[in-house]
Structure 1
């Protein structure tokens, strides 16, 4: 990328860990304004290319002060004190993610390498490998029970069923009806494992983004009076409008939703006690599975929590947090340790276990989902929680 002399100077100061408070503020302003060469992607790329120089002598107090300059705007005024929970403000908005990771992770890396006892390796002479982030991929189960692994399939038409052509593109799977279709209703299922996400365009044009460890079951053609699909996990829906054919979403054992045309996010994993439906636009009517009456109609910006205790609506929900995953981010704003680790477990395909008396830590901020696991853990290590990655993608959480 092309830089003016001042931007190059500021980036060099940051990469060398010598940036002053004024220089950090100046660099922040350039990134926020989107100056040429100063997008977060370009800055991150530059730092990765030029930041591989020997680190200066480690000064723990200096690193905490410098990191604090960036992170101080993350501080919340009037934090509640009723519950004695430690708060860890380790990242600000995405615009700061790359710079903060460089500052915090570099200092933590140097400290851990040269100022801490080295742990015994799990296998003689080697350390467990780092873990790559999740990526696009899914398994398609056809009406006859046959399966196709979409991770390795090539682009193009992969099947034709009941008058519908199924096309695989780089950004997902698309169902394109060619005629009305006849005969028995046929269903397909798209399943994402841990470490996978996928996008599906249904026969009616509805777009669905599936997060890791999720599944979506739907008819190959919507020929009935209503468009009925079944789902579990987490997904972001942009439902095509068709007042004459309502769209219904069933989450087995949890909730039933009815919409006409709307945008919403559903988090309804089987290993979570509650499900969360967050409405972005439109309207959605929700009821608990197997219970009569007691429906709730959500308005944009509202979130419904449903569980064994019933349903509860949050009027001014954090929509940005609920949909961050779809935009390539982790949003840990106000999130407890175990809830956060369940997100990492699904995205990085991990087995997470806890060792010892792990403190009740609450996190704030955002982080890119494109980072390797080691980079994420380096940021989290600023809390009183530590991690050990063992063979078999086993992540041990320790005090």
Structure 2
């Protein structure tokens, strides 16, 4: 486990590293700290970056996110061989990742600061009744005879044995929830999402429908598991993957973490195979844009960090990053000046108030103001 460290000393070493004034002994001290306190190594494969400078920026950002020992962990290559080559000048992130966020004087709060989202969801039953699920719980389980919370035996809903009931789990903006289906498949729903599913699976297919974003860990079976979204179907036998299929976004993205999936375009009129499909291997993403289905190699952490309680903005445009903030903090983003086009690099906890995330994003040169108009909180992004 990571041990307690002197962050003041680390800041001192980092600043010297930034200016290229580390002595040989200090360089060894800094490297020793990382290898001792890091529970997992860090690397960013070079094919994920457009240039050597961007590669160094991504690697540096990952190092910063690991300082408090709480960032998501993964099986990757140690960063130490890269240490001598890392240039820290001109990077749009700073050591503010290390310490608690100071008073954000540059963020004008005309209203109370916006708190992060949490466990919020609504369960819709076959007869149309809805149940607001407990915010003190994080998920529900569909059993043979009823639905319960994950760690409570009492039934929320009684299900008649032998009867297949259509059900739906919906999260609002600022909400997330977990669902264990009757076959043991586990689904994490991101904010503003809906999963429609049966109370139990019968026949030669296991079919659910998704609008929004969900992470799936599919229970292995000889019966195919299919996830249908608007104009697309994902078929698996047992695997872990993420689907982002918001109706407000022009693209549907299916990202494979492990296993194997087949992504097929559907005819929007008949909901049948439109003849275009792709087989994904781990680390690949299928992007559906209109009637085009493209395959890419990606860093899966960027697309699954939300499930583990993080925003991963590595390489994202501000517009893409702010779309995530809109859903999680239930705000509306408006721009003063030109819509910014630079790239963000950083990993942030989703459990922090909005002002804390903005304090870090300010390092990109943007400024922000939170206001409330007509009962709706708005984030003004100032780029002048």
Is the Cα–Cα contact under 8 Å of residues 285 and 297 in structure 1 kept in the other structure?
A: yes
Match of 2:37 among 34, 37, 40: 34
User: In structure 2, what is the Cα distance between the partners aligned to 1:357 and 1:396?
Assistant: 12
Q: How does 1:273-312 map to 2 (within 5 A)?
A: 273-290=250-267, 291-312=273-294
Aligned 1:278-357 pairs, distance under 5 A: 278-290=255-267, 291-314=273-296, 316-357=297-338
Indicate conservation of the 8 Å contact 1:17/1:103, yes or no: no
Give the 3 Å change call, closer, same or farther, for CA 88–3 of structure 1 in structure 2. closer
The answer for unaligned runs of 5 or more in structure 2 is 41-48, 71-92, 268-272
Give the superposition deviation at 1:371: 1.8
State the Cα distance separating 1:207 from its structure 2 match. Answer: 0.6
Q: Is structure 2 residue 227 aligned with structure 1 residue 249?
A: yes
SS in 1 for 2:274: coil
1:289 shift after superposition: 2.1
Matches within 5 A, 1:1-399: 7=5, 10-13=6-9, 21=17, 26=29, 29-30=32-33, 32-34=35-37, 77-78=51-52, 91-93=61-63, 94-96=65-67, 103=96, 113=105, 127-152=110-135, 163-169=144-150, 181-183=161-163, 185-243=164-222, 245-251=223-229, 253-290=230-267, 291-314=273-296, 316-391=297-372, 392-399=376-383
Alpha-carbon separation, structure 2, partners of 1:28 and 1:204: 47
**Map of 2:77 onto structure 1:** none
Q: Distance in 1 between matches of 2:275 and 2:126?
A: 34
5+ residue gaps, structure 1, are 41-74, 81-86, 122-126
Question: Matched residues in 1 for 2:29 and 2:212: separation?
Answer: 42
Larger Rg: 1
Q: Structure 1: how far apart are the matches of 2:139 and 2:325?
A: 32
TM-score, length-scaled by structure 1: 0.71
1:224 Cα deviation from its structure 2 partner: 2.6
